[in-house]
Amino acid sequence: RLVYHLEKEEQMPDGMCIDAEGKLWVACIDGGRVIRIDPETGKRIQTVRLPTPRITSCCFGGKDYSEMYVTSAYDGLDEATLAKEPHAGEIFKITGLGVKGIPQNFYAA
């Protein structure tokens, strides 16, 4: 089922994760943001803007899963674009979101 229809400025979804409240966090590649979506209502409930547009993935970490780590891409960008986007390719740590992630599931081999 369709959970959320991305707005034009959000561009295209890439990596995503779930928080402890069951909400979906989506990295918006070429949108420069991570958005939090309530999959029950289909509404965007939070937006975190980042200093580079090519946001590729997000996950929770830290000792209590209260930090979000967000990756970005720089491959395929020419020198002129990289000069305008000096944070492309960096990993960002976001704190103070007011929500925690959940531990990953481990599976036996």
Q: Which residues are catalytic?
A: 14
Residue 14 labeled ligand binder: yes
Residue 12, burial from CB neighbour count under 10 angstroms (0-12, 13-18, 19+): exposed
* Residue burial 46-61, b: 16+ Cβ < 10 Å; e: rest: eebebebbbbebbbbe
Annotated binding site: 14
Annotated binding site for a divalent metal cation: 14
